[in-house]
Structures are given as C-alpha cells and as structure tokens.
C-alpha cells in the first residue's frame, strides 16, 4: 500500500510526537507539528512544492542572469496556472495570482 502525503504526515505525528520522550521534547515536537499543519496548503506551501518539483528549471545560471528575478516569477506563474491554495491572511482558498508569486519570490 502506498502512503499518501497526509498518511505520512500522520505517521510522522505518532512517531515523533507520541513517542516515549521527555515531556518538554514531546511538547516542542507537537508545537512544531502544529506549525507545519498551519503552513500546509497555503499559497507559500504550494509555491514551495511547485519549485521543488520542478527544481531543474531553477539553475544557478538562471539566478546569475536573472538579477531582478523576473524570469523566476515568469516560470513560477507558468507552473502555478490554475492552482488554488489557502490565503494565510484570510484563511480562504483562492486562485494563486501573479502578485502572490511576486511577493513570495521577493521574500525568499
């Protein structure tokens, strides 16, 4: 049986959060797990996953010549066409726009 990303996430929770460890380590792990769940499915998360999936497009040569990062934004816009994700500010799921990508690229 293949493991879906959510099953892997849940397995990780039980392996790392519920394992026999001291209380402080366990609580810190639970907090970290909660933070990762808050990030999951956000616009930033989807963009990070898209870039990781197609990382061969983002070469050192690209970054050397793309000093204003406009080519990176253009590539990400192509990869994100039709993608939706949760807006962290409003909590609503919406289509990822060019401004989202530009903001994300500039923040990384």
Query: pLDDT tens digit string along 97-106?
Result: 999 999 999 9
Q: Residue 42 and residue 88: Cα distance in Å, rounded?
A: 6
pLDDT, tens only, 47-96: 999 999 999 999 999 999 999 999 999 999 999 999 999 998 898 999 99
**What distance in Å separates the CA atoms of residue 33 and residue 27, rounded to the nearest whole number?**
10
Domains of the chain, by residue range, sit at 5-39, 43-107
Q: Give the C-alpha separation, 107 to 51, whole Å.
A: 14
């Amino acid at each position: 049986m293949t493991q879906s990303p959510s099953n892997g996430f849940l397995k990780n929770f039980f392996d790392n959060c519920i394992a026999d460890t001291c209380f402080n380590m366990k609580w810190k792990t639970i907090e970290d797990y909660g933070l990762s769940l808050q990030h999951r499915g956000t616009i930033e998360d989807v963009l990070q996953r898209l870039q990781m999936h197609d990382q061969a497009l983002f070469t050192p040569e690209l970054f050397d010549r793309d000093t204003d990062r406009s080519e990176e934004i253009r590539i990400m816009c192509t990869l994100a066409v039709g993608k939706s994700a949760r807006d962290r500010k409003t909590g609503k799921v919406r289509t990822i726009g060019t401004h989202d990508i530009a903001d994300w690229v500039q923040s990384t």
